[in-house]
Amino acid sequence: MIKYPVVFFLSLLLFVPRYALCEGFSQEDKERLIRLETKVEEGQKALQRQIDGLSNTTQRQLDALTATTHRQIEGLSVGLQRQIDDLRTLLLWGFGILFGGMGLLIGFVIWDRRTALEPVIRKYRDIEDKEEKFLKVLKEYSNVEPKLAEILRSFNLL
């Protein structure tokens, strides 16, 4: 178990000095690095131009999408307002018709009651008139007939 870490450590010691003893960069390596650095800088500039172009394109697309969305929302708002106005008008007409119908119904009921009660009132007046006449007749006859007068007095009709 302890063998593996020891072997690893010893192999590490063998390879590290080899890289440490390496000489500096040659002229060819330096030129290669300069060319590589120049290419990397040019590539970065090209990438930056592409990113800027994509950013501008994306911004234009977002602006166009925002404008389109605002127009659509405005159109929906106008349509919704029109529907709300139509619904309000419908409700006003509906309530007007409902309350108008209720007023007509109440008027009809009052008229119908007067019309229906008129014959009853006439008949009641006729009965009252007949009752008065009948009482007059009984009182007149009670003057001739004393027994009838006594009966009428017992009922408080004389």
pLDDT value at 29 more than 60? yes
Q: What pLDDT digit, counting tens, does each position of 32-72 carry?
A: 999 999 999 999 999 999 999 999 999 999 999 999 999 99
Distance CA 147, CA 153 (A): 10
Domain of residue 107 covers: 27-154
Q: What is the mean pLDDT of the chain?
A: 87
pLDDT attached to residue 120? 87
Distance CA 60, CA 53 (A): 11
Residue 60 lies in a domain: yes
Confidence of residue 97 (pLDDT cuts 50, 70, 90): very high
Residue 135 lies in a domain: yes
Name the residue among 129, 130, 154 with its Cα closest to residue 142.
154
Overall domain count for the chain:
1
Residue 86 lies in a domain: yes
Residue 18 lies in a domain: no
